[in-house]
């Protein structure tokens, strides 16, 4: 109970940091004209969001970094976890900055993103491979079996890391969607790290992420006063990766983070189908836009995806036992 109380305080502190800083930070974004440039080919209802301040993810990163550094001793796991969150967040920051400076909806070139993500993913995978004796043995959910990745651990883990970060990035397309889903995912990994793995560093990071997402939702829920931008979505992707990699539980990501997976797969299907047939499989991808084009209000899509994530987290709890 003491650990749960400490984690609750951690989440509250992170929440308060966002709540306190947001009224200062958001007007600064307005002042420097750091506004979102909405995709021209996106839903027409989103065009009204043009100019909404972006890069609000900086608030979440600051809250997680400050809380992580002050609520627990800075061990190697904590340092790598913070590097994962801050590093991917920085890549997103560069992407956002270029979008704003060039006044276009696309930031970094694809190859530039991949190179930076590749380097960071390699470091994280290499760290876990060399520091955790059981890193190469991954537990299969719903069974007692283990998969031994052996020497293939690093390349496979790099693929999972980069794939997860970009999947979370794709999920950030509606007000409150990515922050709400990641809040639930982070809460799951907080409990997992605390109760089954005993990794306090990951539990603290997850609790800080819960608080940061909750605080950010106050400004990001519909109608959003600020967007997280790639700065926030990639940082949240880095957070999910850090939780899973540092607890050797990456096979839980497709379950608990099922929405991330569906969003990414919908884009792959859309692109592949269009190249093969010159037709669209979905009305629009990622899939949350498909539901909008089917007539669902944005708030309904977000709420349904939140509920699905809660149910998936419940399935994840069952998978652990």
Give pTM, 2 decimals. 0.94
Across the range 31-51, mean pLDDT stands at 63
Would the pLDDT of 24 be above 70? Answer: yes
Tens digit of each residue's pLDDT (9 = 90 or more) over 305-318: 999 999 999 999 99
- 209 exposed, middle or buried (CB, 10 Å; 0-12, 13-18, 19+)? buried
SS3 135: coil
User: For the chain, give me the number of helices (H) and strands (E)?
Assistant: 12, 2
Tens digit of each residue's pLDDT (9 = 90 or more) over 271-311: 999 999 999 999 999 999 999 999 999 999 999 999 999 99
- 9 exposed, middle or buried (CB, 10 Å; 0-12, 13-18, 19+)? middle
CA–CA gap between residue 204 and residue 75 (Å, rounded): 12
Phi, psi torsion values for 35, nearest 5 degrees:
-100, 155
CA–CA gap between residue 46 and residue 174 (Å, rounded): 9
Contact 238, 65 (CB under 8 A): no
Q: How many Å is the Cα radius of gyration of the chain?
A: 19
């Amino acid at each position: 109970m003491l650990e749960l109380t400490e984690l609750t305080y951690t989440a509250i502190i992170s929440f308060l940091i966002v709540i306190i800083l947001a009224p200062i930070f958001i007007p600064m974004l307005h002042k420097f004209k750091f506004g979102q440039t909405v995709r021209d080919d996106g839903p027409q209802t989103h065009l009204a969001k043009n100019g909404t301040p972006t890069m609000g993810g900086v608030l979440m990163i600051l809250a997680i970094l400050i809380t992580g550094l002050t609520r627990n001793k800075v061990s190697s796991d904590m340092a790598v976890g913070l590097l994962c969150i801050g590093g991917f967040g920085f890549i997103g920051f560069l992407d956002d900055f270029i979008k704003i400076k060039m006044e276009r909806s696309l930031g970094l070139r694809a190859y530039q993103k991949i190179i930076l993500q590749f380097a960071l993913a390699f470091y994280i995978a290499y760290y876990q491979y060399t520091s955790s004796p059981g890193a190469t043995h991954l537990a299969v959910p719903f069974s007692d079996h283990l998969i031994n990745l052996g020497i293939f651990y690093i390349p496979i883990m790099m693929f999972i890391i980069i794939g997860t970060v970009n999947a979370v990035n794709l999920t950030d397309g509606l007000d409150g969607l990515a922050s709400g889903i990641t809040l639930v995912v982070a809460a799951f990994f907080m409990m997992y790290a605390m109760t089954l793995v005993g990794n306090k560093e990951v539990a603290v990071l997850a609790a800080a992420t819960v608080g940061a997402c909750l605080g950010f939702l106050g400004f990001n829920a519909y109608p959003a006063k600020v967007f997280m931008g790639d700065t926030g979505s990639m940082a949240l992707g880095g957070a999910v990766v850090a939780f899973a990699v540092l607890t050797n539980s990456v096979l839980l990501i497709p379950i608990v983070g099922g929405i991330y997976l569906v969003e990414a797969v919908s884009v792959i299907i859309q692109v592949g189908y269009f190249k093969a047939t010159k037709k669209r499989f979905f009305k629009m991808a990622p899939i949350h836009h498909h539901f909008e084009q089917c007539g669902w209000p944005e708030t309904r899509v977000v709420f349904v995806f939140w509920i699905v994530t809660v149910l998936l987290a419940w399935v994840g709890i069952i998978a652990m036992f």
